[in-house]
Structure 1
Amino acid sequence: MKILVADKISPKGVEYLRQQPGFEVIEAYGSSPAQVLELVKDVHAIAVRSETKITAEVFAAAPLLKVVGRAGVGVDNVDVEAATERGVVVMNTPGGNTISTAELTFTHILCCARPIAQGAASMKAGNWDRKTLSGVELLRKNIGIIGLGRIGSEVAKRAQAFGMKVLAYDPYLTPARAAAMQVESVSLDALLAGSDYITVHMPLTDETNNMIDEAALAKCKKGVRIVNCARGGIVNEKALVAALKSGQVGAAGLDVYETEPLPKDSELRSAPNIVLTPHIAASTTEAQETVGIEIAEQIADVLVHGAVRNAVNLPSMDAAAAKVIAPYLDLAAKLGTLVQQIAPKQIAKLRVTYQGKVAELDVNAITRALQRGYLRRISGDSVNAVNAPTFMQRLGVQFEVVKLSDAGDYTDLIEVEATGGDGSVNSASGTLIGKSNSPRIVGINGREVEVAAEGSLLVLENNDQPGMVGAVGTLLGQDGVNIADMSLSRLTPGGTAYMVVRVDHEPSEKARAAIKANAAIKFAKFVQL
């Protein structure tokens, strides 16, 4: 079997592949797109970093291709959708840069405390400016860490070693996990107000985009230090520059940017008291060696044993099983993301019940698809069907699977229940309808509904009174939002009712606020499936 190493990875990783019986390794660094198309005609695997683009055209030109391995985290240079369509596994190495990123983060924290970069530049310019280069100690300072995943947890350990108090904001982190890490779990506002240093370690999602903006910075202590080695866009650059100039932010360190490479005319380049690095968090000898060896091992496991680790598209399964399970994967993922959006951010337990025909299957892949759906808006692109259970465990969420033979009114049924720390339960259930096995939502929070499991949904709980459908429809119509489907449900006349409205696109903030302002509406959530 031929393995194309298209980008330069660790020599130890290349050597590992060469040592595998029956492997032929082709090193072709710096190949043009046309050369890549020629090289992949008879290869079974491709190893890349970030330089070579593995496009739909590449997949079309590679009929024998089974796996693409990315030595690193991001897979922006790989057309994952095209890979999935052609049955090609795409893998990455999400853990390889954990320590290097945590260490760079702390380097920036130290540079925020002591003007090291400024001192070095001053010395090289022939100066001896001791009086203007005064700093502060980290001991007994508060550091606010936003996101306590792999990297945030490592930063917390290093901060504690320096005698800092760690304030943590992660809405999905359980109290038990926070206690075990010896960090104080607080609200975002409390973290902003109480931190001397703030560092972010979250994926860039709709929720985290511009999380640290002008309003957030205004809530901080005057002179707060800000560090971002996670993703560009979490910290609003214009707001940061203004806060540095005003002194609201005393110092900052960035390794990632809204636009990369950073434009030459970016205001960040001339802002005071800021240290900029060109996205080098993973650029250590150890990290590159680790990811190179890891991706080589993962490629060999797929080709030799059929074992898949850190897949970013689909778990491995044979063709017959895939044909049967595929519709359930889609349904489960959508139920997972639906429950995540209607439940509290912090839950203690997630339970999935398989009823009827689906309970007779090996539900492992379906369960992982459900977990991936639940985590999609929490953990971003790094979560996949293989590592989703680990992510759930890291959040401290208990997970339970139940199988029942009777599905009641349906041939089969999947129900997901999220239990909050206060015992509250939010749930959603779904089934497959018709010969095409179309996924349908048939229950939300114990109420019977029926709506296609696709697109955008408005989930409303309201007093059961005349005019509610018209009121909601009028507000959506005034906002230019078309209703594609609607389902109504109530237990008793005059009590509370559920309204699930499938819409063509997201209503504006103004329209959503108007809906929530209706005194008869007790609960309103916009859900994107």
Structure 2
Amino acid sequence: MKILVADKISPKGVEYLRKQPGFEVIEAYGSSPEKVLELVKDVHAIAVRSETKITREVFAAAPLLKVVGRAGVGVDNVDVEAATEHGVVVMNTPSGNTIATAELTFTHILCGSRPVAQAAASMREGKWDRKSFSGVELFQKTLGIVGLGRIGGEVAKRAIAFGMRVLAYDPYLAPSRAKAMQVEIATLDEILAQADYITVHMPLTDDTKYMIDEAAFEKCKKGLRIFNCARGGIIKETALLAALKSGKVAAAGLDVYEDEPLAKDSEFRQLPNVVLTPHLGASTKEAQESVGIEIAEQIADVLGGGVIRNAVNMPSIDAAALKTLGPYLDLGSKLGTLVQQISPKQIASLRITYWGKIVELDANSITRAVQRGFLRNISGEQVNFVNAPVLLKRLGIQADVTKSNTDSGYSELMAVEAVAADGKTYSAQGTLIGKGNQPRIVGINGREVEIAAVGKLLVIENEDLPGMVGTIGTLLAKDKVNIADMSLSRLTPGGIAYMLVRVDTEPGPAARDEIKGNPLVKSAKFVQL
């Protein structure tokens, strides 16, 4: 079996692969996209870091390909959807860079307090300028951590050791979890108003893009110090530049950028109160060795027919079981992400119930698919079938599973319910239909519906009055959004009705605002399955 190592990983990882019987390893670092297409024609596995793009064209050109392994967390350079369509496993190494990124973040925090980098540059110029490089202490300052996952949690530990007060904003984190970590839970506005330092540790999603923008900086203390070693785009760069120039922000540290590599003429390069690093989060000897060896072992396991670990698009099961479970995993993942997007951000528990044939299958793998789907927009790239239960637990969310013998009305049915702290439940039900086992949504928040579980949905709750379907259709048509499918449901005539509209493209902000602004619409949410 041929393994293409397209980006440079730890030599120990490459050596591990070479020692496996029946493996041929091809090292082709820095290959052009055209060269990659040529090399993959007869390969069974590809190992990458972040440089080589594994596109839809690559999957189409690689009929023997079974697995793509990313030595690191982010899989931005891999077309995961295309991989899934071609039955290729995509794996990452989600925990290997935790300490490295946390330590780099704290290095930036320290450099933002004491201008060590600037002083060192001055010394190299032959100067002895003590007055220009006065700093501040971390002791008794307030650090706001936006996103308290693995890395945010490690940063919090280090901040507490330095005697800092730590505020944490994570809309999905239960208060009990924050208390156990010795941090104070806070809203984003509270952090903006109170923090002397802010560091972000969220995945980049629609909800987190430009989370820190012009309006956010207006709410901050003068002299704020802010840092981003997570993902470019969480902090709006134009807003940060303006805040640095005005003095609202005293110092900043960036390891990630909206566009990478950072442009040579970027204004950030000219500002003396900014420390820039070229995406070094995982760039330690220990982290690179760890992820290189780990991804090599994972690739070898897959090619040898063993257990799949840390897959972002498959569960940790063998290939034979995967063939049977695949449609159920897809349905579970979609129900999980649907429920998360129609629920409030903070929930207390996640309940999953199975009926019919599903009860006899490996419900553990399906449960993890539901959990991963639920966490997809919360935890981003770090969530997979292996760590989903752990990430739920970190958020303080209790997970309950029930296998029911009652008659559901379907030969097989799956229900996912998110229970909020006030006891209110948000739910979706789904089943498989047809020869191709196509996933269908058959219930939402207690209403019977029937629509394909694929693509983009508008979930609308409205008063049941004449003309509502036409009103929504007209608004979407005005925005040039085509309707692919629609399902209507109500409990009583003239009461509250549900409208599920499957669309080909996402409605623009103006169209969505107009739908939400209609006085007959009680709620309207756009859901990406």
**TM-score in terms of structure 1 length:** 0.92
What is the 5 A alignment of 1:249-398? Answer: 249-304=249-304, 306-315=306-315, 317=317, 321-398=321-398
Contact 1:427 1:444 in 2 (8 A): yes
Q: Equivalent residue for 1:521?
A: 521
* Residues 308 and 316 in structure 1, CA contact (< 8 A), matched pair in contact too: yes
Residues in 2 aligned to 1:287 and 1:382: alpha-carbon distance in whole angstroms: 16
Higher mean C-alpha displacement, 317-326 vs 153-162: 317-326
Letter matched to residue 458 of structure 1: L
Per-residue deviation at 1:332?
1.7
Kindly tell me: are residues 482 and 47 of structure 1, through their superposed partners in 2, closer, same or farther at Cα, counting changes over 3 Å? closer
Equivalent in the alignment of 1:69: 69
> Residue 357 of structure 1 contacts residue 405 of structure 1 at CA under 8 Å; is this kept in 2?
no
- The 1:504/1:45 distance shift into structure 2, 3 A limit, reads closer
Other-structure match for 2:108: 108
**Equivalent pairs: percent with the same residue?**
75
Q: Which segment drifts farther, 150-159 or 492-501?
A: 492-501
How far apart in 1 are the matches of 2:55 and 2:507? Answer: 34
CA offset at residue 419 of structure 1? 0.6
RMSD (Å) for aligned C-alpha atoms: 2.5
Equivalent residue for 1:230?
A: 230
1:57 & 1:514 partners in 2: Cα distance? Answer: 39
1:54-84 CA-to-partner distances (Å, cap 9, x unmatched) read 4556556655543332222223444444443
Q: CA deviation at 1:367?
A: 2.1
For the 8 Å contact 1:138–1:162, the answer to whether it is kept is yes
Unaligned runs of 5+ in 1: none
Conserved 8 A contact 2:73-2:381:
no
Matched, 1:210 2:204: no
Task: Provide closer, same or farther for how the CA distance between residues 440 and 53 of structure 1 changes in structure 2, counting only shifts above 3 A.
Answer: closer
How far is 1:516 from its partner? 2.7
| Structure 1 residues 60 and 528, CA gap change in structure 2 (3 angstroms) | closer
Distance 1:470 1:95, change over 3 A: same
Residues 148 and 170, structure 2, Cα contact 8 Å, conserved in 1:
yes
After superposition, the Cα gap between the structure-2 partners of 1:47 and 1:527, relative to the gap in structure 1 and judged at 3 Å, is closer
SS of the equivalent of 1:233 reads coil
- C-alpha displacement of 1:423: 1.2
Is 1:171 matched with 2:171? yes
TM-score by length of 2: 0.92
1:163-182 deviation digits (Å, cap 9, x = unpaired): 01111111111111111111
Partner Cα distance (2:6, 2:456) in 1: 40
Partner secondary structure for residue 100 of structure 1: helix
**4+ runs of 1 displaced by more than 6 Å?**
none
Give 3-state SS (helix, strand or coil) of 2:156's partner. helix
Q: Is residue 152 from structure 1 mapped to residue 152 from structure 2 by the alignment?
A: yes
Q: Deviations over 1:453-497 (max 9, x none)?
A: 223322222333444434444444444444433333222334322
**2:12 matched residue in structure 1:** 12
Change (3 A) 1:5 1:440: closer
**Mapped contact 2:305–2:319 kept (Cα < 8 A):** no
State the distance in 2 between where 1:230 and 1:136 align: 24
After TM superposition, give the deviation of residue 121 of structure 1 in Å.
1.8
SS in 2 for 1:262: coil
| Pair 1:430 & 2:424 matched | no
Letter in 2 for 1:419: V
CA apart distance, 1:207: 0.9
Between the aligned partners of 1:224 and 1:111, the Cα distance in structure 2 is 14
Q: Give the equivalent residue in structure 2 for 1:512.
A: 512
Q: What is the SS of the residue equivalent to 1:126?
A: coil
Q: What's the CA shift for 1:451?
A: 2.2
Residues 225 and 302 (structure 1 numbering): CA distance in 2 closer, same or farther, change over 3 Å?
Answer: same
Farther off after superposition, 22-31 or 415-424: 22-31
Give the conservation status (yes or no) of the 8 Å contact 1:200–1:229.
Answer: yes
**Counterpart code for 2:146:** I
Pairing 1:43-82 to 2, within 5 Å after superposition? 43-55=43-55, 59=59, 64-82=64-82
- 2:447–2:489 Cα contact (<8 Å) kept: yes
| Deviation of the 1:444 alpha carbon | 1.0
Partner SS state of residue 287, structure 2: helix
Cα distance in 1 for partners of 2:476, 2:39 equals 53
Residue 278 (structure 1) shift: 1.1
Q: Which residue of 1 aligns with 2:96?
A: 96
AA paired with 2:437?
N
| Aligned residue type for 1:507 | P
Q: Runs of 5+ in structure 2 lacking a partner?
A: none
Read off the aligned partner of 1:516 and give its amino acid letter.
Answer: K
Cα–Cα, structure 1 residues 469 and 71, in superposed 2: closer, same or farther, change >3 Å? closer
CA distance in 2, matches of 1:5, 1:528: 33
**Offset of 1:351 from its aligned partner?**
1.0
Q: Deviations over 1:21-66 (max 9, x none)?
A: 5555454545566665666566544333334444556556655543
Structure 2 letter corresponding to 1:370: V
SS of alignment partner, residue 525 of structure 1? strand
Name 1:464's counterpart in structure 2.
464
What is the rounded CA distance, in whole Å, between the counterparts of 1:55 and 1:475 in structure 2?
35
